[in-house]
Structure 1
């Protein structure tokens, strides 16, 4: 007889839901003990641990953390209308969201680890029982400034009248951010924001500028191809660009024998953190062939490379084969040949 997990057990925590953040931040990261027991339960525990591994501390994560800390410091001491934002650019699957969330989770855990009871109401507006150090908003394609502001309200669980305009939403967030302990907001998939070089550009740029300068916390804008995006270009987008600390992730130098570089450091750390049965064949991830396969097959996208390596490790566990080039080939996310190959 086949049995199924309860719906609660199948629910995957998502960063879009504030109620899921405790599960994401405090999830059990205990490494399964290595043994030669190849029972279904023991292998499942290893595979589940590897699948949940992350975010890893890479050179890009360190870069993002330092930029956000710099923006926090400058914003804490800024003169009137001197607020800074952070813009994180890069191709898809390079690891932008993971890097940003790792910083937000770290700062949130520091607050939640030793925090007094949260403020539950301000001027009859109910607030979350916990403080909300970070807000996460995922942009829906075609969104404008109003959609971002309403998304911030939804994340925090702040009720608002559907008839409210953007100014009303901005004013409410400005009033409640302090009592909620908001430190920053992640605006993810920002390349989906509409506006470009159209008649909406002025309103959109002004709204983003209003969010950056009108709210007492750090704004982090995340997206793919933002350097070419219409809403951040032209004279109107300059209002946002000139306030930004900008970085492009994934521009890593290739490893060499003398200098492992970001790729070598990331793969060495990943190889140490992945879990395998005690009798597993020796890992071959650090061989030149495996490293070359991983870099080229991921099209030099660290985020994709990490997920691919985790899938290959679990393939090696399931089939009791070495964790190396053959396991990578068996789980390749981008076909080596074919119309999808670029």
Structure 2
């Protein structure tokens, strides 16, 4: 990994890209990896001039806020399944390509996983086929991936406008839904787009007319566009999106349920040996990436294992928020290490804060453990 010298670099900042536009997606997909700030001892920190120390701490704050994605077994399984679906979707244009769906609870990294897969796919396509597409009417930029984020008031027309806006087409505020759809279809074909990621699909309400129209429009897009769709959302099956809002015997007529392949991400669990090993590997991966002058081996993976599970309830987003905010506080307070005492002063999302009391009690009572090799004392034969 690149460990550039932040002592002499100008102050780094957040990368303010919008992946819902072509320029933003390309900036994200083709950006180099961040430079990991070099480790410094407490003595070296104390000797730094003020400006240099400010730049160093700023670089560490940005580094800790952007850790990952960490390739956990859950993420690896999703990548393998998505790779298989997209890689085998090589049907000719007269056939419909099955779609992939990533449906999971909030805070488990669905969007992170989808964007990481899209980024890898983008790079592979550019490496395979180059940056340009030569057609009879000229050369077009290859745009392997499109990323869209739905809103609570998405309509068929606004969805098509999002597609046109991603490609940078002029006049997206003019024209009806059909005209915009055909303009987008032309760009998809000419730019050899092969994957369209549609995020926040749970915003669609199939009990409303607009929601049903957009859900049905996805079928037309799948029939028309030579791409694989990857839909990302929360509770899509429970919201009736797979059944197109049909119920009872009518649900058997849903084409969507036959075309959408549903994948999921699960929270981390410590009820099994394999779950505890996975949790430890995750914490070891995080521990290796921290840049704190007083960090030590086992600080995260051993000393804080139970505590971090109770605080995050096994949800990846909650865990990473706690880690990044804890590191920020450790730097600002000069403690330069993570501890229970320091992390107790950091608040994260309300769902995690609400669940922590019960989990802390179970861990303290020995009814559960995050440590590999241990079994829960409250259940005989736990493995």
Q: Give me the TM-score of the superposition, normalised by structure 2.
A: 0.74
Residue 271 (structure 1) shift: 1.5
Q: 2:28 aligns with which of 17, 24, 29?
A: 24
Give the match for residue 4 of structure 1: none
Residue 65 (structure 1) shift: 1.7
| CA distance in 1: counterparts of 2:224 and 2:87, whole angstroms | 17
Give 3-state SS (helix, strand or coil) of 2:261's partner.
Answer: strand
| CA distance in 2: counterparts of 1:185 and 1:109, whole angstroms | 15
Structure 2, gaps ≥5 residues long: 1-11, 359-383
| CA distance in 1: counterparts of 2:197 and 2:237, whole angstroms | 18
Q: 1:324 to 1:185 in 2, by over 3 A?
A: farther
Give 3-state SS (helix, strand or coil) of 1:151's partner.
Answer: helix
| CA distance in 1: counterparts of 2:349 and 2:187, whole angstroms | 46
Q: CA RMSD in A?
A: 3.4
Alignment of 1:128-277 (within 5 A): 130-160=141-171, 162-194=173-205, 196-200=206-210, 203-233=213-243, 234-235=245-246, 238-254=254-270, 260-277=276-293
| CA distance in 2: counterparts of 1:192 and 1:337, whole angstroms | 26
Residue 191 (structure 1) shift: 0.9
Cα displacement string for residues 64-115 of structure 1 (whole angstroms, at most 9, x for unaligned residues): 2222222223321378443211111112221100000001111222344576
Give 3-state SS (helix, strand or coil) of 1:87's partner.
Answer: strand
The answer to whether the 8 A contact 1:94-1:303 is kept is yes
Give 3-state SS (helix, strand or coil) of 2:198's partner.
Answer: strand
Give the match for residue 45 of structure 1: 59
Cα displacement string for residues 196-226 of structure 1 (whole angstroms, at most 9, x for unaligned residues): 2344565333211112222111111111121
Which structure has the larger Rg over C-alpha atoms?
Answer: 2
Aligned residues between the structures: 330
Q: Give me the TM-score of the superposition, normalised by structure 1.
A: 0.82
The answer to whether the 8 A contact 1:255-1:263 is kept is no
Give the match for residue 5 of structure 1: none
The answer to whether the 8 A contact 2:156-2:217 is kept is yes
Q: 1:86 aligns with which of 100, 106, 117?
A: 100
The answer to whether the 8 A contact 2:310-2:356 is kept is no
Alignment of 1:54-93 (within 5 A): 54-77=68-91, 80-93=94-107
The answer to whether the 8 A contact 1:89-1:224 is kept is yes
